[in-house]
Amino acid sequence: MARQIQQLLVVGAGQMGNGIAQVAATAGLDVILNDISLAYAQKGLRNIEHNLSRLVAKGRLTDVEKQAILSRITLSDDVEDGAQVDMAIEAATEHLGIKLDIFRRLDQVVRPEAILATNTSSLPITEIAAVTGRPELVIGMHFMNPVPVMQLIEVIRGLATKDEVYETVMELSRTLGKHPVEVQDFPGFVSNRVLMPMINEAIYCVYEGVSKPEDVDAVMKMGMNHPMGPLQLADFIGLDTCLSIMEVLYEGFADSKYRPCPLLRKYVSAGWLGKKVGHGFYVYES
Protein backbone atom coordinates (compact mmCIF):
# COMPACT_ATOMS: atom_id res chain seq x y z
CA MET A 1 0.00 0.00 0.00
CA ALA A 2 1.36 3.40 -1.02
CA ARG A 3 2.27 5.96 1.64
CA GLN A 4 1.21 9.59 1.63
CA ILE A 5 4.14 11.92 0.88
CA GLN A 6 3.63 15.51 2.06
CA GLN A 7 7.08 16.75 3.10
CA LEU A 8 9.97 16.41 0.67
CA LEU A 9 13.69 17.17 0.93
CA VAL A 10 15.44 17.85 -2.40
CA VAL A 11 19.23 17.63 -2.13
CA GLY A 12 20.83 19.67 -4.91
CA ALA A 13 19.33 22.94 -6.16
CA GLY A 14 20.75 22.84 -9.68
CA GLN A 15 18.84 22.42 -12.91
CA MET A 16 17.28 19.07 -11.97
CA GLY A 17 16.83 19.77 -8.26
CA ASN A 18 15.06 23.10 -8.61
CA GLY A 19 12.83 21.57 -11.29
CA ILE A 20 11.86 18.75 -8.93
CA ALA A 21 11.20 21.27 -6.16
CA GLN A 22 9.01 23.33 -8.51
CA VAL A 23 6.77 20.45 -9.61
CA ALA A 24 6.51 19.13 -6.04
CA ALA A 25 5.51 22.51 -4.61
CA THR A 26 3.09 23.03 -7.51
CA ALA A 27 1.47 19.70 -6.59
CA GLY A 28 0.96 20.94 -3.01
CA LEU A 29 3.93 19.33 -1.24
CA ASP A 30 6.05 21.16 1.32
CA VAL A 31 9.60 21.21 -0.04
CA ILE A 32 13.00 21.83 1.53
CA LEU A 33 15.42 22.77 -1.26
CA ASN A 34 18.94 22.01 -0.04
CA ASP A 35 22.40 22.67 -1.41
CA ILE A 36 25.92 23.02 -0.02
CA SER A 37 25.40 26.77 0.42
CA LEU A 38 22.41 29.07 0.71
CA ALA A 39 23.73 30.96 -2.31
CA TYR A 40 23.27 27.87 -4.48
CA ALA A 41 19.84 27.22 -3.00
CA GLN A 42 18.84 30.85 -3.64
CA LYS A 43 20.01 30.55 -7.23
CA GLY A 44 17.76 27.51 -7.61
CA LEU A 45 14.82 29.43 -6.13
CA ARG A 46 15.41 32.31 -8.56
CA ASN A 47 15.15 29.84 -11.42
CA ILE A 48 11.85 28.56 -10.04
CA GLU A 49 10.56 32.13 -9.71
CA HIS A 50 11.57 32.83 -13.31
CA ASN A 51 9.76 29.71 -14.56
CA LEU A 52 6.62 30.53 -12.62
CA SER A 53 6.65 34.15 -13.79
CA ARG A 54 6.69 32.92 -17.39
CA LEU A 55 3.62 30.79 -16.66
CA VAL A 56 1.87 33.82 -15.15
CA ALA A 57 2.75 35.89 -18.24
CA LYS A 58 1.24 33.16 -20.44
CA GLY A 59 -1.95 33.10 -18.36
CA ARG A 60 -1.39 29.52 -17.23
CA LEU A 61 -0.93 30.51 -13.58
CA THR A 62 -2.18 33.39 -11.46
CA ASP A 63 0.12 35.51 -9.36
CA VAL A 64 -1.66 34.25 -6.23
CA GLU A 65 -0.97 30.66 -7.29
CA LYS A 66 2.66 31.52 -7.99
CA GLN A 67 3.10 32.99 -4.50
CA ALA A 68 1.41 29.95 -2.93
CA ILE A 69 3.85 27.62 -4.73
CA LEU A 70 6.86 29.67 -3.61
CA SER A 71 5.55 29.73 -0.02
CA ARG A 72 5.81 25.94 0.09
CA ILE A 73 9.56 25.99 -0.65
CA THR A 74 12.09 26.45 2.17
CA LEU A 75 15.80 26.90 1.48
CA SER A 76 18.51 24.97 3.33
CA ASP A 77 22.26 24.49 3.46
CA ASP A 78 22.16 21.61 5.96
CA VAL A 79 20.45 18.26 5.24
CA GLU A 80 19.58 18.04 8.95
CA ASP A 81 16.87 20.59 8.14
CA GLY A 82 15.07 17.70 6.46
CA ALA A 83 15.31 15.32 9.43
CA GLN A 84 11.51 14.90 9.67
CA VAL A 85 10.53 14.70 5.98
CA ASP A 86 8.59 11.80 4.50
CA MET A 87 11.04 11.43 1.64
CA ALA A 88 14.34 12.79 0.32
CA ILE A 89 15.30 13.03 -3.37
CA GLU A 90 19.00 13.43 -4.18
CA ALA A 91 19.66 15.47 -7.34
CA ALA A 92 23.39 16.10 -7.12
CA THR A 93 25.94 15.82 -9.92
CA GLU A 94 26.18 12.46 -11.74
CA HIS A 95 29.19 11.18 -9.78
CA LEU A 96 28.93 7.97 -7.77
CA GLY A 97 31.28 9.02 -4.96
CA ILE A 98 29.34 12.24 -4.35
CA LYS A 99 26.02 10.41 -4.32
CA LEU A 100 27.29 7.73 -1.94
CA ASP A 101 28.47 10.42 0.50
CA ILE A 102 25.06 12.13 0.33
CA PHE A 103 23.21 8.88 0.98
CA ARG A 104 25.42 8.02 3.95
CA ARG A 105 24.60 11.43 5.39
CA LEU A 106 20.88 11.20 4.64
CA ASP A 107 20.75 7.79 6.28
CA GLN A 108 22.20 9.32 9.46
CA VAL A 109 19.94 12.37 9.72
CA VAL A 110 16.58 11.61 8.05
CA ARG A 111 14.07 9.69 10.16
CA PRO A 112 14.47 5.91 9.81
CA GLU A 113 11.16 5.27 8.05
CA ALA A 114 11.67 7.94 5.37
CA ILE A 115 12.18 6.94 1.72
CA LEU A 116 15.47 7.92 0.08
CA ALA A 117 15.39 8.39 -3.71
CA THR A 118 18.08 9.26 -6.22
CA ASN A 119 17.58 11.13 -9.48
CA THR A 120 20.60 9.40 -11.02
CA SER A 121 20.33 8.95 -14.78
CA SER A 122 22.61 5.91 -15.03
CA LEU A 123 24.26 4.83 -11.75
CA PRO A 124 23.35 1.58 -9.90
CA ILE A 125 20.53 1.94 -7.37
CA THR A 126 21.57 -1.23 -5.52
CA GLU A 127 25.09 0.08 -4.94
CA ILE A 128 23.77 3.43 -3.68
CA ALA A 129 21.29 1.68 -1.38
CA ALA A 130 24.01 -0.56 0.06
CA VAL A 131 25.78 2.32 1.83
CA THR A 132 22.65 2.96 3.93
CA GLY A 133 21.09 1.03 6.78
CA ARG A 134 17.75 1.06 4.94
CA PRO A 135 18.32 -0.40 1.44
CA GLU A 136 14.69 -1.52 1.35
CA LEU A 137 13.67 2.18 1.43
CA VAL A 138 16.00 3.33 -1.37
CA ILE A 139 14.78 3.74 -4.96
CA GLY A 140 15.65 5.47 -8.22
CA MET A 141 13.40 8.29 -9.43
CA HIS A 142 14.90 9.56 -12.68
CA PHE A 143 13.20 12.76 -13.85
CA MET A 144 13.76 14.07 -17.38
CA ASN A 145 15.17 17.52 -18.15
CA PRO A 146 13.58 20.09 -18.05
CA VAL A 147 11.62 18.65 -15.15
CA PRO A 148 8.60 21.03 -15.26
CA VAL A 149 8.02 20.21 -18.96
CA MET A 150 8.94 16.55 -19.46
CA GLN A 151 6.36 13.96 -18.45
CA LEU A 152 8.46 10.83 -17.94
CA ILE A 153 9.92 9.47 -14.71
CA GLU A 154 11.91 6.21 -14.70
CA VAL A 155 11.25 4.41 -11.41
CA ILE A 156 14.07 1.98 -10.62
CA ARG A 157 14.03 -0.55 -7.80
CA GLY A 158 17.23 -1.64 -6.14
CA LEU A 159 17.70 -5.28 -5.24
CA ALA A 160 16.15 -4.76 -1.80
CA THR A 161 13.50 -2.08 -2.56
CA LYS A 162 10.16 -2.93 -0.94
CA ASP A 163 6.93 -3.08 -2.95
CA GLU A 164 5.44 -0.39 -0.69
CA VAL A 165 8.24 2.02 -1.60
CA TYR A 166 7.84 1.32 -5.31
CA GLU A 167 4.06 1.85 -5.11
CA THR A 168 4.56 5.08 -3.14
CA VAL A 169 6.96 6.51 -5.73
CA MET A 170 4.68 5.51 -8.62
CA GLU A 171 1.76 7.23 -6.90
CA LEU A 172 3.87 10.31 -6.05
CA SER A 173 4.97 10.54 -9.69
CA ARG A 174 1.34 10.66 -10.79
CA THR A 175 0.59 13.28 -8.12
CA LEU A 176 3.35 15.40 -9.68
CA GLY A 177 1.58 15.12 -13.03
CA LYS A 178 4.17 12.75 -14.48
CA HIS A 179 4.05 9.40 -16.27
CA PRO A 180 6.10 6.83 -14.32
CA VAL A 181 7.52 3.68 -15.93
CA GLU A 182 9.11 0.76 -14.10
CA VAL A 183 12.72 0.12 -15.15
CA GLN A 184 15.14 -2.50 -13.83
CA ASP A 185 18.49 -1.62 -12.26
CA PHE A 186 20.80 -1.88 -15.29
CA PRO A 187 23.43 0.70 -16.37
CA GLY A 188 21.76 3.67 -18.05
CA PHE A 189 18.28 2.23 -17.36
CA VAL A 190 16.26 2.61 -20.61
CA SER A 191 16.52 6.32 -21.41
CA ASN A 192 20.27 6.70 -21.45
CA ARG A 193 21.01 3.16 -22.64
CA VAL A 194 19.20 4.12 -25.85
CA LEU A 195 19.90 7.88 -26.04
CA MET A 196 23.59 8.12 -25.17
CA PRO A 197 24.90 5.61 -27.74
CA MET A 198 22.99 7.58 -30.39
CA ILE A 199 24.64 10.81 -29.22
CA ASN A 200 28.02 9.07 -29.04
CA GLU A 201 27.61 7.76 -32.60
CA ALA A 202 26.68 11.25 -33.81
CA ILE A 203 29.92 12.50 -32.24
CA TYR A 204 31.82 9.74 -34.06
CA CYS A 205 30.32 11.03 -37.33
CA VAL A 206 31.94 14.40 -36.63
CA TYR A 207 35.17 12.84 -35.33
CA GLU A 208 35.57 10.69 -38.44
CA GLY A 209 34.72 13.55 -40.81
CA VAL A 210 31.49 11.99 -42.03
CA SER A 211 29.63 15.29 -41.63
CA LYS A 212 29.57 18.61 -39.79
CA PRO A 213 27.62 18.97 -36.51
CA GLU A 214 24.83 21.06 -38.05
CA ASP A 215 24.40 18.54 -40.87
CA VAL A 216 24.36 15.53 -38.53
CA ASP A 217 21.65 17.29 -36.54
CA ALA A 218 19.73 18.19 -39.71
CA VAL A 219 19.65 14.52 -40.74
CA MET A 220 18.10 13.49 -37.43
CA LYS A 221 15.63 16.39 -37.28
CA MET A 222 14.43 16.38 -40.89
CA GLY A 223 15.04 12.74 -41.70
CA MET A 224 14.04 11.07 -38.42
CA ASN A 225 11.61 13.74 -37.11
CA HIS A 226 13.58 14.32 -33.90
CA PRO A 227 12.68 17.69 -32.30
CA MET A 228 16.36 18.40 -31.60
CA GLY A 229 19.53 17.02 -33.18
CA PRO A 230 21.72 14.71 -31.06
CA LEU A 231 24.68 17.12 -30.92
CA GLN A 232 22.55 20.08 -29.91
CA LEU A 233 20.89 17.84 -27.33
CA ALA A 234 24.33 16.78 -26.05
CA ASP A 235 25.23 20.45 -25.61
CA PHE A 236 22.03 21.01 -23.64
CA ILE A 237 22.58 17.95 -21.43
CA GLY A 238 26.25 18.83 -20.88
CA LEU A 239 29.09 16.98 -22.58
CA ASP A 240 30.61 16.11 -19.21
CA THR A 241 27.34 14.43 -18.22
CA CYS A 242 27.22 12.58 -21.56
CA LEU A 243 30.76 11.34 -21.02
CA SER A 244 30.01 10.21 -17.47
CA ILE A 245 27.00 8.21 -18.63
CA MET A 246 28.91 6.63 -21.52
CA GLU A 247 31.63 5.58 -19.07
CA VAL A 248 29.00 3.99 -16.81
CA LEU A 249 27.63 2.06 -19.81
CA TYR A 250 31.11 1.07 -21.03
CA GLU A 251 32.18 -0.14 -17.59
CA GLY A 252 28.83 -1.71 -16.71
CA PHE A 253 28.44 -3.80 -19.87
CA ALA A 254 32.12 -4.24 -20.83
CA ASP A 255 31.03 -3.89 -24.45
CA SER A 256 33.02 -1.87 -27.00
CA LYS A 257 29.84 -0.47 -28.55
CA TYR A 258 29.61 1.83 -25.53
CA ARG A 259 33.19 3.19 -25.85
CA PRO A 260 33.07 6.99 -25.51
CA CYS A 261 34.18 8.80 -28.65
CA PRO A 262 37.69 10.33 -28.28
CA LEU A 263 36.29 13.67 -29.51
CA LEU A 264 33.84 13.70 -26.63
CA ARG A 265 36.72 13.15 -24.20
CA LYS A 266 38.73 15.91 -25.90
CA TYR A 267 35.90 18.45 -25.66
CA VAL A 268 35.35 17.69 -21.98
CA SER A 269 39.10 17.97 -21.29
CA ALA A 270 39.08 21.35 -23.04
CA GLY A 271 36.19 22.56 -20.89
CA TRP A 272 33.84 22.67 -23.89
CA LEU A 273 30.92 21.28 -21.91
CA GLY A 274 28.05 22.66 -23.97
CA LYS A 275 25.45 25.36 -23.49
CA LYS A 276 26.14 25.88 -19.78
CA VAL A 277 29.62 27.24 -20.54
CA GLY A 278 28.81 28.75 -23.94
CA HIS A 279 30.80 26.29 -26.06
CA GLY A 280 30.31 22.68 -27.10
CA PHE A 281 29.52 21.47 -30.59
CA TYR A 282 27.97 24.91 -31.03
CA VAL A 283 28.83 28.36 -29.64
CA TYR A 284 26.22 30.03 -27.44
CA GLU A 285 25.90 33.67 -26.48
CA SER A 286 25.61 34.32 -22.75
Domain segments of the chain as ranges = 7-183, 192-276
77-114 pLDDT per residue, tens? 999 999 999 999 999 998 999 999 999 999 999 999 99
Q: Across the strands, what pairs with 279?
A: 274, 283
What architecture does CATH give domain 7-183? 3-Layer(aba) Sandwich (3.40)
3-class SS of residue 265:
helix
What residues in the chain have per-residue pLDDT under 50? Answer: none
178's CB contacts (< 8 A; 6+ apart) are 23, 143, 151, 152, 153
pLDDT tens per residue across span 172-192: 999 999 999 999 999 999 999
Range list of β-strands (E), the chain: 7-11, 30-34, 73-76, 87-90, 115-118, 138-143, 152-157, 179-183
Note the pLDDT of residue 175: 98
CA 95/CA 76 separation, integer angstroms: 22
pLDDT score at 285: 86
Q: What is the pTM of this model?
A: 0.93
Per CATH, 7-183 and 192-276 having the same topology is answered: no
* Class of domain 192-276 (CATH, top level): mainly alpha
Mean pLDDT for all residues in the chain: 97
Residues with a known catalytic role: 121, 142, 154, 192
Say what the pLDDT of residue 205 is: 98
Residue 16 is predicted with a pLDDT of 96
